[in-house]
Chains A and B, each alone.
Chain A
Amino acid sequence: MTLIDLANPTRFLALSARVLPWLAAATVILLTIGLYQSASAPDDYQQGATVKIMFIHVPNAWLSMFVWGVMSVASLGTLVWRHPLADVAAKAAAPIGAAFTFLALLTGSLWGRPMWGTYWEWDARLTSVLILFLMYLGLMALWRAVEDPSRAARAAAVLTLVGAINLPIIKFSVDWWNTLHQPASVMRMGGSTLDKSFLIPLLVMAVAFTLLFVTLHLAAMRNEILRRRVRSLQMMQASRVAFSSEVGTGSREENASKGAA
Chain B
Amino acid sequence: MSLGPYASFIVTSYAAAAIVVAILIGWVVFDYRNQTQRLRELGRSGVTRRSGRSAVDTPRTMT
Contact = CB atoms under 8 A, between A and B. Distances in A.
Interface of A: 10, 13-14, 17-18, 20, 39-40, 43, 48-50, 52-53, 56-57, 60, 95-96, 99, 102-103, 106-107, 110-111, 113-114, 212, 216, 219-220, 222-223, 226-227, 229-230, 233-234, 236-237, 240
B46 to A, nearest CB: 9
Nearest to B58: A17
Interface of B: 1-7, 9-10, 12-14, 16-17, 20-21, 23-25, 27-28, 31-32, 35-36, 38-39, 42, 45, 47-49, 53, 55-60, 62
16 contacts: A14-B58, A39-B1, A49-B7, A52-B10, A56-B13, A60-B17, A107-B17, A212-B21, A216-B25, A216-B28, A219-B32, A220-B28, A222-B62, A226-B35, A226-B36, A226-B56
Given A60-B17, A99-B24, A230 B9 contact: no
Given A216-B28, A230-B39, A103 B17 contact: yes
Given A103-B17, A219-B28, A111 B9 contact: yes
B60 to A, nearest CB: 5
A226 B55 contact: yes
